[in-house]
Amino acid sequence: MEKRIAGLALLLALAVSPVHAQDEPAVEEFQGLDREVQALKDEVLDLNRDLFLLEEELLFPANSQVAFFLSVDVGEFFALDSVSLKIDGKEVTNYLYTEREVDALHRGGVHRLHMANLEVGEHELTAVFDGKGPHARDYRRGATMKFTKSLGAKYVELQITDRAAKQQPEFVIREWE
């Protein structure tokens, strides 16, 4: 009888929920450690901000900096595969997109595709994208544009859009100063 009750008591201690009741000191310890982690994350993020800016300004001074961005604005889903860029006839990047990245682009994210240092004056940009459109149709489209680099950082946005012709994705390029 005693043993039975002891056994029952033991097993009932397991009953209902697999979770142990948390004791106060353990909770306090966790909260203390948690606050410590948050503080460290804060400082590391601030430091990363400063390092990120230093790196950018060191490698790409504003006067020669040109940043190339890619965005997507299509009605039907367009599975982007890759984008390649040529500046003044020389290939500078051939970027392969993961599914995750494509999804982020479709949700409105903008990808910084390439950064370059260019002399003041006229340059030529050629961009080509590959992908699969609706009904698994393969697409390859390109666009060429001349642009002028003056002093100060320049942004060039390449947008894959089907606004002009529905379900026909095309490149639209615009510049930002």
Partner 1 sequence: MLALLPFALHAADAGAAEGPVTIEDAPYGEVLFHFYQQDYFSAIVRLLAARERDRLPHHDAEAELLLGALYLSYGQHLEAAQIFERLLAGNASPEVRARTWFFLAKIRYQRGYPEEAQQALALIGEALPASLEPERRLLEAQLLMETGRFDEAARLLGEWQGSPEWMTYARYNLGVALARAGRVTEAAAILDALGRLEGRDEERLAIRDKANLALGYALLREGEAGAARDPLQRIRLSGPFSNKALLGLGWADAELGAYDRALVPWLELAKRNLLDPAVQESLLAVPYAMAQLDATSQAVDHYHRAIEAFHAEAGRIDATIEQIAGGALLDKFLAGDPGHAAGWYWKLEALPEGVEARYLYHLLATHEFQEALKNYRDLRFLARNLEDWRESIDVFGHMLETRRLGYAERLPRVEEALSRADVQGLVDRKLELDARLNGIEAEHDALALATADEFRLWGEIAMLERSPALAADLPEAEEARRKIRLLKGVLQWQLEKEFKARLWTLRRALRDTGEALVETHRARRSVEHAMRTEPEVLAGFARRVAALGPRIDALLARVDRAALRHRAHLETIAIAELEQQKERIETYTVQARFALAALYDRSAAAGGAP
The residues binding partner 1 (CB under 8 A) are 3-4, 6-8, 10-12, 14-22, 26-27, 29-31, 33-38, 40-58, 67, 69, 71, 100-101, 103-105, 107-112, 120, 151, 155, 157, 176
Of 15 and 136, nearer to partner 1 (C-beta) is 15
Minimum Å gap between C-beta 116 and partner 1 is: 15
Residue 156 main-chain phi, psi, to 5 deg: -120, 125
Of 54 and 140, nearer to partner 1 (C-beta) is 54
Ramachandran area for residue 96 (φ above 0: left; ψ -120 to 50: alpha; else beta): beta
Q: Could you tell me the two tokens for 30?
A: 């966790």
DSSP string, 109-139: --EEEEEEE--SEEEEEEEEEEEE-GGG-EE
Minimum Å gap between C-beta 137 and partner 1 is: 25
Of 76 and 140, nearer to partner 1 (C-beta) is 76
Minimum Å gap between C-beta 107 and partner 1 is: 5
The amino acid sitting at 176 is W
Q: What does the radius of gyration of the chain's CA atoms come to, in whole angstroms?
A: 27
